[in-house]
Amino acid sequence: MFQWLETFISVYENNNFTKAANELSISQPTISVHIEKLETEIGVVLFERSSNKKITPTLAAHFLYEKTKRMQSSWDNVIDELVSISSGKNRSFKIGASQTIGNYLIPKVLGKLQKAFPKVDFEIIIDNSESIFQSVSILDTDIGLVESPLVSSNIDRQEFMYDRMILLGKPESTTWILREEGSGIREYSDRYMMEHNISPETELVINSNEVILQLVELGYGRTLQSELVNYSSSIEAEETLLIRPLYAISNKNHPDLDRQIIQFIFSLFNLSKNKPYGRWPL
């Protein structure tokens, strides 16, 4: 049954039998057999098949995927604990962070985290806010630290600090350099341009804050960024009135979330139970 469920997860995530076969290093006919056996065992259809070999997950598949990912995460945690008990190896804890947080805040707290939890191997994933949100939603990541106010019924969300936005670059520039859709800062950039009736002649979309800062330093366009970023003193900077909250998110259905680690992370950002917001001690 475990093997069938593993196959189901791969087919669901890839939405394709061939890709699932490649990912699991087994044949496509074996993939089909696993899915058929699973459907027979539980008595429901998981994928609608069309004549052009396209598959569509059913409502039952969506439900089973969420439950199975939770089971998988719980089982992985059990294995980690058993390995830790038998061999003395550390357990793992994965933190997903959006780029601004991952590049400029995480380095300031990671050393303290490792010192406080020497038996934990921390893994840091840096991506845009939407990708981190999805990773937390499917239990691939233990906690997310993001810039975008995304919401979902299965996600706990808490503000942990405020972040002021600044304009970087020459005011006369008609080129705006933006992050990609799905990043937290892109939402605020779009909002700022709309509120200030800004219609740039040219827009350049780049999925890296570091590259954006390099281009601005070279005189190529303007950008809206967090005051946390490390920008050159040669770049013209202008404060704005735009202040955004940063969020810590976790999955309500996480089977074994280490709340002690979560609370310690909050304490590093000056967040306490009786204080709804924290502010990074810059």
* Site of tokens 């933190």: 95
| Statement: residue 114 has pLDDT above 80 | yes
Q: Where are the domains of the chain?
A: 2-81, 88-161+245-268, 162-243
The span from the CA of 204 to the CA of 147, in Å, is: 21
Contact residues for 41 (Cβ-Cβ < 8 A; gap 6+): 1, 4
What CATH number matches the domain at 2-81, 1.10.4160.10, 3.40.390.10, 1.20.1740.10, 1.10.10.10? 1.10.10.10
pLDDT bin (cut points 50, 70, 90) of residue 234 is very high
pLDDT above 60 (res 276): no
**CA distance linking residue 145 with residue 108, whole number of Å:** 14
How far is the C-alpha of 146 from the C-alpha of 159, rounded, in Å? 10
**């469920």: which residue's tokens?**
5
Average pLDDT over residues 249-258: 84
Per-residue confidence (pLDDT) for residue 83, from 0 to 100: 62
> Looking at the predicted structure, is the pLDDT value of residue 280 above 60?
no
- The whole-number average pLDDT for the span 195-222 is 93
Please enumerate, as own/partner, the contacts of 78-84 that have beta carbons within 8 Å and a separation of 24 or more: 84/119
More confident residue, 247 or 274: 247
Q: What pLDDT sits at residue 80?
A: 66
At the fourth CATH level, the homologous superfamily of domain 88-161+245-268 is: Periplasmic binding protein-like II (3.40.190.10)
Q: How many whole angstroms separate alpha carbon 263 and alpha carbon 253? A: 18
Fold match between domain 2-81 and domain 162-243: no
Whether residue 215 has pLDDT greater than 90: yes
Which residue type sits at 113?
L
CATH level 3 topology of 162-243: D-Maltodextrin-Binding Protein; domain 2 (3.40.190)
Q: Give the CA angle between residues 241, 163, 214 to the nearest 5°.
A: 90
Q: b/e string for 180-200 if b means 16 or more Cβ within 10 A?
A: eebbbbbbbbeebbeeeeeee
Average pLDDT over residues 18-34: 85
Q: How confident is the model at residue 281 (pLDDT cuts 50, 70, 90)?
A: very low
pLDDT digits (tens, 9 = 90+) for 120-155: 889 999 999 999 999 998 888 999 999 988 888 889
Look at 10-14, 20-24, 73-77 and tell me which has the smallest mean pLDDT. 73-77
Instruction: Tell me what pLDDT residue 273 has.
Output: 36
Count how many residues are written for the chain. Answer: 282
Distance (Å, rounded) from C-alpha 131 to C-alpha 235? 30
Q: Which of 73-82, 138-147, 168-177, 205-214 has the lowest mean pLDDT?
A: 73-82
Query: What percent of the chain clears pLDDT 90, i.e. is strictly above it?
Result: 42
Please report the pLDDT score of residue 279 as a whole number. 39
Quickly state the pLDDT bin for 224 (edges 50, 70, 90).
very high
Q: Model-level pTM?
A: 0.65
Across residues 93-121, what is the average pLDDT? 91
Mean pLDDT of 44-61: 82
Residue 156 clears pLDDT 70, i.e. is over it: yes
- Residue of higher predicted confidence among 125 and 52: 125
- Whether the pLDDT of residue 17 is over 90: the answer is no
The span from the CA of 221 to the CA of 174, in Å, is 7
User: Distance between CA 58 and CA 43 in Å, rounded?
Assistant: 13
Distance from the Cα of residue 169 to its chain's centroid: 29
Q: 76: which residues sit within 8 A by CB, 6+ positions away?
A: none
What tokens appear for 169 in the block?
């670059």
pLDDT of 271 = 45
- Element of type H or E holding 2: helix 2-14
